[in-house]
Amino acid sequence: MKRNKYILSVLFLSGACCLPLAAQEDVPETVSSAAVRPVLELSLDKCRELAMQNNPYMQNAELDVYAARAQKQEAFAEYFPKVSVNAFSFYAFNPLIEIGVTDIFGHSDFTHNLQNFVNSVAPQLGIDPVYSTMDYGVLAAATVMQPVFAGGRIVTGNRLAALGVEAATLQKNIRTRATAEETEAAYWQIVSLEEKYRSLDEVQALLDTLFNDVIAAVDAGVVTETDLLQVQIKRNELKSGKIQLLNGIRLAKMNLCNSVGVEYNPYMTIRNDSIPFIDDIRLTDSLSELLSPERYYCPEDEVAANLDETRLLDLSVESKKLEKRMALGEALPQLGVGALYGYNNFMNKGSMNGAVFAVLQIPISDWGKTSRKMQRIDYQLQKSENEREYLQTQLVLQVHKLWMDLTAAWEKLQVAEETAATAEAVERQMYDHYLAGMVTISELLQTQTQLTDARNQVLDGKIAYQTALTAYLDKTGNKR
């Protein structure tokens, strides 16, 4: 009986050791056995910082902002004169201009007689009876063109470009929130898996001790070999679970490192002094004290009104209004003034010359097409307004959902903690019943497994609540 009490005491202690060991700083032995390898410690804040710098989606969002700013500068350049240098040259097979007597005085008997006389005398004098020129020409000039009025399209285009910069900035803010949430979810997933691994590691050590004690008890005839086999089965199940859990930890770490841009070595057999082995990347943050959701509540309408998504919906409507103005500008007159100066040689005489000019363009035939285009944009504007009205209600619903998810996660956590407390009480009762010979060691081990599962559910509930709280706080803009 003393031997039975000793064995059951060890079983009872093994259940107590299944609690998450958040205060421990060392990772499981299998995960951190290579002390000579470089160790990299990552905090949650560090992971967020790295994600903002190295996450490809964050980098693309930043590039979108740069592109929008460049487009705004491109639109602003439309206010300034356009300067160009043009060159033109030609050679004609026949002169473009030929002038004879009849071309000057018209057709009459006198001019025909005069032309015949010139035709007969000209060869004797060594001249051509017909004046010809423009058989070749050269023109090179610099031109300056300043738009005066372009139907308001230049001003409207600059407003559209400014909206583009604001929209790209809002998209970047949204991407920043999403990246932070994804990084934190990946971080806490690893913390959860490592806490479970630590629990299994402790249980394994106690089961190994229990196994040796049961062997001694079997030799002494205190317990049967069936009890020994039951403990052996439990040990094998635990070893299999640890192998699967370790692989899950490694894959989760790889996923986190890929998203934040941290290099890692996936193979322990390949030495690399500058890149840490995946098991030597350690997370330093643990779950802090969790408070009830009521401390973080914000009215849904206020939250939705201040969201970047709401402003994006407004920008969508404003951009359609500006597109309509752009279309109207195509039907309005356009006025521009300019000047040119350069060299020309078209009549066998080169010279430098310049000119100033004004260009007025009044579109007439395109008015019908432009009116249909404005009609089409009107329909798109109405569509954008309808979408804005609907999506604004969806944003309020989204905030509602985040709050409901947060409260549900809190309630599930309370249930999990209550279940764990009940499982502890049941385990203690089973211990007493076993001492009294009312239950077998198999039933006691099953109770121990249920207690371990209940405590793991508490840990999962804490992670789920922490993740839901992060999503809610990021959406509402509140600080903890």
pLDDT value, residue 250: 94
User: Around Cβ 292, how many Cβ atoms within 10 Å?
Assistant: 12
User: Where residue 447 sits, what CATH number does that domain have?
Assistant: 1.20.1600.10
Phi and psi for 361 in degrees, rounded to 5?
-120, 120
Which domain, by its residues, includes 231?
2-89+148-331+369-476
If one compares 58 and 113, the residue with the highest pLDDT of the two is 58
Res. 164: pLDDT tops 80: yes
pLDDT digits (tens, 9 = 90+) for 188-221: 999 989 988 888 887 787 778 777 877 887 787 7
pLDDT digits (tens, 9 = 90+) for 272-323: 778 889 989 999 988 778 889 999 999 988 888 889 999 999 999 999 999 9
DSSP lists the bridge partners of residue 149 as 335
Kindly state whether residue 33 falls inside one of the protein's structural domains: yes
> What is the arithmetic mean of pLDDT over 418-440?
82
pLDDT digits (tens, 9 = 90+) for 218-253: 787 777 788 788 888 888 988 898 899 999 999 999
Res. 9: pLDDT tops 60: no
Res. 362 pLDDT band, cuts 50 70 90: confident
If one compares 20 and 271, the residue with the highest pLDDT of the two is 271
pLDDT digits (tens, 9 = 90+) for 446-459: 887 888 888 889 98
Give the pairing type, strands 136-149 and 334-345: antiparallel
pLDDT value, residue 166: 95
Kindly state whether residue 8 falls inside one of the protein's structural domains: yes
Kindly state whether residue 159 falls inside one of the protein's structural domains: yes
Tokens of 160: 């559209």
Q: What is the mean pLDDT of the chain?
A: 83
pLDDT value, residue 342: 92
Res. 119 pLDDT band, cuts 50 70 90: confident
pLDDT value, residue 480: 56
Res. 339 pLDDT band, cuts 50 70 90: very high
Judged by DSSP in three states, 477 sits in coil
Long-range contact list for 226-233, CB < 8 A, 24+ apart? 226/442, 227/440, 227/441, 230/440, 230/441, 230/442, 230/445, 231/207, 231/441, 231/445
pLDDT value, residue 479: 61
- Closest among 416, 413, 415, 394 to 405, alpha carbons compared: 413
Provide the terminal-to-terminal Cα distance of the chain, rounded to the nearest Å.
54
User: Around Cβ 341, how many Cβ atoms within 10 Å?
Assistant: 13
Kindly state whether residue 122 falls inside one of the protein's structural domains: no
Kindly state whether residue 364 falls inside one of the protein's structural domains: no
Residue 391 Cα to chain centre, angstroms: 21
> What is the arithmetic mean of pLDDT over 128-151?
86
Res. 161: pLDDT tops 90: yes
pLDDT value, residue 66: 95
Kindly state whether residue 131 falls inside one of the protein's structural domains: no
Res. 424: pLDDT tops 90: no
User: How many structural domains is the chain composed of?
Assistant: 1
Which residue is associated with the tokens 């996450």?
Answer: 55
% of the chain with per-residue pLDDT over 70 = 91
Kindly state whether residue 215 falls inside one of the protein's structural domains: yes
From residue 61, alpha-carbon distances to 16, 65, 441 in Å are: 49, 7, 60
pLDDT value, residue 35: 47
In this structure, is the dihedral angle defined by the CA atoms of residues 215, 221, 222 and 223, taken in order, positive or negative?
positive
pLDDT digits (tens, 9 = 90+) for 13-47: 334 343 333 333 344 444 444 446 778 999 999 99
